[in-house]
């Protein structure tokens, strides 16, 4: 069965606090991660929390990349959701792992938009 999209949920551990608390750096890395995978950027929104932490999203034609950071734990939660077959979400995830200098990454992929095709009796007959 084909899926409409692929959603990678990634967790980065052991990242430097100064990276995870720098909105400009995170925004640049997230945009570059999208571009590295061949995505088309539409919108970019990031927010710095007080006293620490950053959340943001890069909206792409193929869906989005999102991040939430906890600098005090050296941790970032990242979602990369892409639709279609042209953009591989894993390219973005590995780019971010490298550029966040994460000591460890865990990630899993979820297929989104899987439809079970119901074939009517009439369609079955015409296919024979």
Maximal C-alpha separation, the chain: 66
CATH number at residue 34: 3.60.90.10
- Catalytic, 63? Answer yes
- pTM confidence score: 0.87
Across residues 24-49, what is the average pLDDT? Answer: 98
| Range(s) of the domain holding residue 85 | 3-127
Across residues 102-117, what is the average pLDDT? Answer: 92
- Catalytic, 15? Answer no
- Catalytic, 93? Answer no
Q: Which of 7, 15, 64, 83 is catalytic?
A: 83
Decide if 71 contacts 20 (C-beta within 8 A).
yes
Place 2 in a pLDDT band, splitting at 50, 70 and 90: confident
Count of domains observed in the chain:
1
Query: 60-82: per-residue pLDDT in tens?
Result: 999 999 999 999 999 999 999 99
Q: Mention every residue, 6+ apart, whose C-beta is less than 8 A from residue 34.
A: 41, 58, 60, 65, 92
Q: HSE of 21 in the Cβ direction (CA atoms, 13 Å)?
A: 11
Query: What is the 3 state secondary structure string of the chain?
Result: CCEEEEEEEEEEECCCHHHHCCHHHHHHHHHHHHHHCCCCEEEEEEEECCCCCEEEEEEECCEEEEEEEEHHHCEEEEEEEEECCCCCHHHHHHHHHHHCCCCEEEEEEEEEEECCCCCCHHHHHHHC
Q: Which of 7, 63, 64, 92 is catalytic?
A: 63
Across residues 13-27, what is the average pLDDT? Answer: 98
């Amino acid at each position: 069965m084909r899926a409409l999209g692929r959603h990678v949920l990634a967790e980065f551990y052991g990242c430097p606090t100064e990276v995870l608390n720098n909105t400009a750096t995170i925004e640049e890395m997230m945009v570059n991660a999208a571009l590295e995978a061949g995505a088309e950027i539409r919108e970019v929104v990031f927010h710095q929390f007080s006293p620490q932490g950053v959340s943001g999203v890069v909206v792409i034609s193929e869906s989005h990349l999102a991040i939430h950071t906890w600098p005090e734990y050296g941790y970032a939660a990242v979602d990369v959701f892409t639709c279609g077959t042209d953009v591989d979400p894993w390219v973005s995830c590995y780019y971010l792992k490298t550029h966040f200098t994460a000591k460890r990454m865990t990630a899993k992929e979820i297929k989104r938009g899987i439809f079970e095709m119901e074939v009517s009796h009439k369609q079955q007959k015409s296919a024979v």
